[in-house]
């Protein structure tokens, strides 16, 4: 990205002043290197977002930002319904509530090394992954609606997990305000056999070990020690969420003019929060969040089954579950006054600081766990939300490494078999049936996750707690 | 990921865009054209019609567990009648890289340029 038009606020924050149709400024959090390598489309897109009706304070881009559709991935924007604020299907993304959960296992690396290959094989056999895969659960219409209203709570009530899991999930495992009646038949049909499936692309299940601690006190509250083994699951709302995105993108484009909204580009499709389309989307999108929460909950259960077979005695407890692609109604202080805002985070993580009432009580003193997924060859990170993040970006942080190279380019540079072999040499077992998928997901196709996390911490958005490195990675 | 179809007619450009859509997932040449599905779409303009066509194919792929390798499109006004031929996903054979979640309106263009029709958009994977 060109530095022209960017005003340096600090070594980790850059501002684009209001110009043209922008209603508020745009702020990008990144160090010089990340800014230099960032897609120039990020600044174009974040400025477009800054021009949407009812936007409050500024439009923000996180250090892992890259070109998305409408909103950049890594974009955060809050809207006030009382000032004509909008909700945008593109601002949430197609994979509604895609997110990460991390489970503690109580095991040490050496416990798993002994059975690593068997564990990897069993996980691959048990976790439905990849194009066309179906889950163990096949829902009828009533069960589908119950799942869309109940989220992870629905899954736990059916025996897929524990009450403790719900305490450690955003929204306590159930997004309020969901309306299955706003979800199309098509969306429900896409989900019938997909509950408890991982998906494909950048989604994964990883067995990881803790290789570094940066904040021992917080790590201890999170239950993380060096050498500990954890399991992280990255996936979202599957076909249901994708279809909700598809349905409402069109509806919002077609009805934009009737809402008096002129879009600089149709990809910015949105509707006033206080409009029938806006309310309908919010009801459907929240049902999509519940679908993702239920999905990750069922996958956790399957993971526990595998561990019980291979490493009997291991107890998998949930550290936390975060969602990346959401629009949530939250209270935030703007110019010192609390306001109810609709915060879009697209490829960005909510990151509440210490003391926030929505953080589970036993973690509240140190801040919300922020789980950052890396690549299958590098590392993932656990961060903790900071108090400053509230003022900096409505309590938000980055979500992952962010792609640096297109999928097409990646397949020309790497072969899947070669990636699997190289990673095996580093002690990382990859289990996937699609070698092309592996080539597209090669670690080299992503930004340096450590640089992203470093910039996130230095900008004050969240603080580093622990580094996790993969031992096993199951992909679609 | 972007898909672009170029053809001598609007219909051909739409058919080529559909082949590009399959290429995002697998090699279209690896898909046997055994089973056929018909789709109908309607839209307020040609660009949204392209997105609707691709989304109809994505939906049929997802719910039937199929991949499509051959396409036929007829457009009358802003109504599209399409046919797609393909087969069930076979992971070993097709090595599918990703699922396509949906066609977006990013870089969405349908236009005639130098005697050729171009139909393109970004699809979310």
Residues on chain A touching B89 (C-beta within 8 angstroms): 131-132
Q: Is B29 in CB contact (< 8 Å) with chain A?
A: no
User: Where in B1-125 does DSSP place strands (E)?
Assistant: 2-7, 35-42, 66-76, 79-88, 102-103, 109-113, 116-124
Q: Is B40 in CB contact (< 8 Å) with chain A?
A: no
Q: Which residues of A255-269 are buried (b: 16+ CB within 10 A; e: fewer)?
A: bbeebebebebbbbb
A136 has pLDDT over 90: no
**In the structure encoding, which two tokens stand for residue A66, read together?**
């890259």
CB within 8 Å: A253 and B98: no
CB within 8 Å: A249 and B65: no
pLDDT tens digits for range A386-421? 999 999 999 999 999 888 888 999 999 999 999 999
Residues on chain B touching A95 (C-beta within 8 angstroms): 101, 124
Residue with tokens 């006030």: A80
In a domain, A438, yes or no: no
Residues on chain A touching B44 (C-beta within 8 angstroms): 254
A423 has pLDDT over 90: yes
> How far does A244 lie from chain B, in Å, by closest CA?
10
Residue in B closest to A95 by C-alpha:
B101
Sign of the Cα pseudo-torsion (B59, B25, B105, A182, in order): positive
Residues on chain A touching B59 (C-beta within 8 angstroms): 186, 190, 243
Q: Is B97 in CB contact (< 8 Å) with chain A?
A: yes
In a domain, A2, yes or no: no
> How far does B68 lie from chain A, in Å, by closest CA?
13
What per-residue confidence (pLDDT) applies to A404?
85
CB within 8 Å: A93 and B124: yes
Range scoring the smallest mean pLDDT among A152-166, A168-182, A436-450, B7-21: A436-450
What per-residue confidence (pLDDT) applies to A267?
86
Q: Is A189 in CB contact (< 8 Å) with chain B?
A: yes
Residue A182 binned pLDDT confidence (cut-offs 50, 70, 90)? very high
A266 has pLDDT over 90: no
What per-residue confidence (pLDDT) applies to B85?
98
Q: Is B39 in CB contact (< 8 Å) with chain A?
A: no
> How far does A430 lie from chain B, in Å, by closest CA?
15
Q: How is domain B2-124 classified at the CATH fold level?
A: Archease, Possible Chaperone; Chain: A; domain 1 (3.55.10)
> How far does B2 lie from chain A, in Å, by closest CA?
10
Residues of A with catalytic annotation?
399
> How far does A429 lie from chain B, in Å, by closest CA?
19
Euclidean distance between CA atoms B22 and A347, whole angstroms: 26
Q: How far is CA A395 from CA A336, A408, A457, in A?
A: 15, 35, 13
pLDDT tens digits for range B45-76? 999 999 999 999 999 999 999 999 999 999 99
CB within 8 Å: B98 and A132: no
pLDDT tens digits for range A271-294? 999 999 999 999 999 999 999 999
Residues on chain B touching A68 (C-beta within 8 angstroms): 106
Sign of the Cα pseudo-torsion (A293, A295, A296, A301, in order): positive
Give the mean model confidence (pLDDT) for residues B1-15.
Answer: 97
> How far does A109 lie from chain B, in Å, by closest CA?
31
> How far does B125 lie from chain A, in Å, by closest CA?
7
Residue with tokens 């489970």: A103
Expressed as residue numbers, the domain containing A348 is: 7-404+446-475
What per-residue confidence (pLDDT) applies to A69?
86
Range scoring the smallest mean pLDDT among A181-185, A461-465, B101-105: B101-105
Residue of higher predicted confidence among A264 and A13 = A13
What per-residue confidence (pLDDT) applies to A414?
95
What mean pLDDT value characterizes chain A?
96
Give the closest of B62, B97, B103 to A190, CB-based.
B62
Give the closest of B1, B92, B122 to A433, CB-based.
B92
What per-residue confidence (pLDDT) applies to A131?
87
Residues on chain A touching B88 (C-beta within 8 angstroms): 132
Give the mean model confidence (pLDDT) for residues A62-76.
Answer: 93
In a domain, A422, yes or no: no
Residue A348 binned pLDDT confidence (cut-offs 50, 70, 90)? very high
Q: Is B6 in CB contact (< 8 Å) with chain A?
A: no
What per-residue confidence (pLDDT) applies to A393?
98
DSSP letter at A51?
T
Q: Is A135 in CB contact (< 8 Å) with chain B?
A: no
The radius of gyration computed from the CA coordinates of chain A, to the nearest angstrom, equals 21
pLDDT tens digits for range A82-119? 999 999 999 999 999 999 999 999 999 999 999 999 99
CB within 8 Å: B91 and A130: yes
Give the mean model confidence (pLDDT) for residues A229-256.
Answer: 96
Residues on chain B touching A131 (C-beta within 8 angstroms): 25, 89, 91, 94, 96, 98-99
What per-residue confidence (pLDDT) applies to A197?
94
Residue in B closest to A96 by C-alpha:
B101
CB within 8 Å: B125 and A131: no
What per-residue confidence (pLDDT) applies to A11?
97
Residues on chain B touching A246 (C-beta within 8 angstroms): 55, 58, 101-103
Percent of chain A with pLDDT over 70: 100
Best A128, A131, A186, A204 residue to mutate vs chain B (most B CBs within 10 Å): A131
CB within 8 Å: B59 and A190: yes
Helices A276-310 + A116-126 axis angle, to 10: 140
The domain limits of chain B are: 2-124
Q: How far is CA B52 from the centre of its chain?
A: 9
In a domain, A87, yes or no: yes
Q: Is A184 in CB contact (< 8 Å) with chain B?
A: no
Give the mean model confidence (pLDDT) for residues A349-361.
Answer: 98
Euclidean distance between CA atoms A334 and A202, whole angstroms: 35
Euclidean distance between CA atoms A180 and A393, whole angstroms: 31
CB within 8 Å: B106 and A433: no
Residues on chain A touching B101 (C-beta within 8 angstroms): 94-95, 241-242, 245-246
What per-residue confidence (pLDDT) applies to A433?
87
Q: How far is CA A202 from CA A416, A442, B38, in A?
A: 14, 10, 31
Residue in B closest to A70 by C-alpha:
B106
A70 has pLDDT over 90: no
What's the domain count of chain A?
1
Residue with tokens 């990881």: A208
Euclidean distance between CA atoms A410 and A406, whole angstroms: 6
Return the H-helix or E-strand segment holding A149: helix A141-157
CB within 8 Å: A95 and B1: no
**CATH at A450:** 3.90.1860.10
Residue A438 binned pLDDT confidence (cut-offs 50, 70, 90)? very high
Percent of chain A with pLDDT over 90: 90
Give the closest of A201, A242, A476 to B102, CB-based.
A242
Range scoring the smallest mean pLDDT among A152-156, A228-232, A442-446: A442-446
pLDDT tens digits for range B72-118? 999 999 999 999 999 999 988 999 989 999 999 999 999 999 999 99
CB within 8 Å: A69 and B102: no
In a domain, A178, yes or no: yes
């Amino acid at each position: 990205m060109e530095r022209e038009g960017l005003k340096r606020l600090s070594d980790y924050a850059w501002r684009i002043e209001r110009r043209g149709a922008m209603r508020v400024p745009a702020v990008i959090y990144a160090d010089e290197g990340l800014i230099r390598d960032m897609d120039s489309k990020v600044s174009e897109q974040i400025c477009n977002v800054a021009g949407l009706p009812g936007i409050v304070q500024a439009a923000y881009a996180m250090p892992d930002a890259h070109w998305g559709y409408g909103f950049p991935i890594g974009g955060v924007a809050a809207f006030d319904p009382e000032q004509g604020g909008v909700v945008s299907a593109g601002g949430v993304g197609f994979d509604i509530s895609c997110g990460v959960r991390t489970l503690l296992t109580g095991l040490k690396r050496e416990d798993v090394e002994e059975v690593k290959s068997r564990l990897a094989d069993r996980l691959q056999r048990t976790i439905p992954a990849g194009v066309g895969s179906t889950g163990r659960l096949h829902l009828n219409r009533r069960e589908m609606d119950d799942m869309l209203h109940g989220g992870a709570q629905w899954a736990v009530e059916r025996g897929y997990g524990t009450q403790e899991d719900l305490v450690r999930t955003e929204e306590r495992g159930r997004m309020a305000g969901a309306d299955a009646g706003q979800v199309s038949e098509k969306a429900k049909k896409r989900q019938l056999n997909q509950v408890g499936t991982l998906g494909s692309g950048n989604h994964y299940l990883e067995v990881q070990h803790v290789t570094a601690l940066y904040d021992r006190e917080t790590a201890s509250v999170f239950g993380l020690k060096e050498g500990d083994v954890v399991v992280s699951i990255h996936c979202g709302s599957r076909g249901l969420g994708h279809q909700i995105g598809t349905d409402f993108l069109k509806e919002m484009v077609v009805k934009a003019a009737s809402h008096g909204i002129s879009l600089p580009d149709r990809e910015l499709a949105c509707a006033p929060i206080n409009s029938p389309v806006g309310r309908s989307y919010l009801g459907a999108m929240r049902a999509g969040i519940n679908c993702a929460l239920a999905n990750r909950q069922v996958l956790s259960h399957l993971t526990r089954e595998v561990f019980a077979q291979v490493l009997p005695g291991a107890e998998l407890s949930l550290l936390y579950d975060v969602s990346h692609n959401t629009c949530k109604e939250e209270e935030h202080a703007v110019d010192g006054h609390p306001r109810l805002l609709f915060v879009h985070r697209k490829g960005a993580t909510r990151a509440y600081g210490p003391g926030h009432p929505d953080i589970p009580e036993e973690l509240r003193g140190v801040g919300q766990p922020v789980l950052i997924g890396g690549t299958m060859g590098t590392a993932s990170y656990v961060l903790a939300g900071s108090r400053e993040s509230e003022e900096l970006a409505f309590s938000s942080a980055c979500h992952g490494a962010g792609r640096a190279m297109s999928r097409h380019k990646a397949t020309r540079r790497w072969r899947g078999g070669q990636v699997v072999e190289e990673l095996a040499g580093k002690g990382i077992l990859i289990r996937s049936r699609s070698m092309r998928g592996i080539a597209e997901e090669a670690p080299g196709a992503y930004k340096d996750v450590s640089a992203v996390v470093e910039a996130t911490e230095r900008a004050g958005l969240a603080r580093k707690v622990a580094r996790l490195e993969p031992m096993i990675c199951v992909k679609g | 990921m972007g898909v672009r179809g170029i053809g001598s007619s609007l219909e051909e450009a739409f058919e080529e865009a559909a082949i590009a859509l399959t290429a995002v997932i697998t090699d279209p040449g690896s898909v046997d054209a055994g089973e056929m599905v018909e789709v109908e779409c309607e839209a307020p303009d040609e660009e949204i019609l392209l997105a609707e066509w691709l989304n109809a194919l994505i939906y049929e792929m997802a719910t039937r567990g199929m991949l499509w390798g051959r396409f036929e499109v007829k457009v009358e006004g802003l109504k599209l009648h399409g046919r797609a031929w393909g087969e069930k996903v076979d992971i070993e054979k097709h090595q599918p890289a990703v699922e396509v979640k949906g066609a977006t309106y990013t870089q969405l263009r349908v236009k005639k340029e130098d005697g050729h029709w171009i139909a393109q958009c970004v699809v979310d994977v």
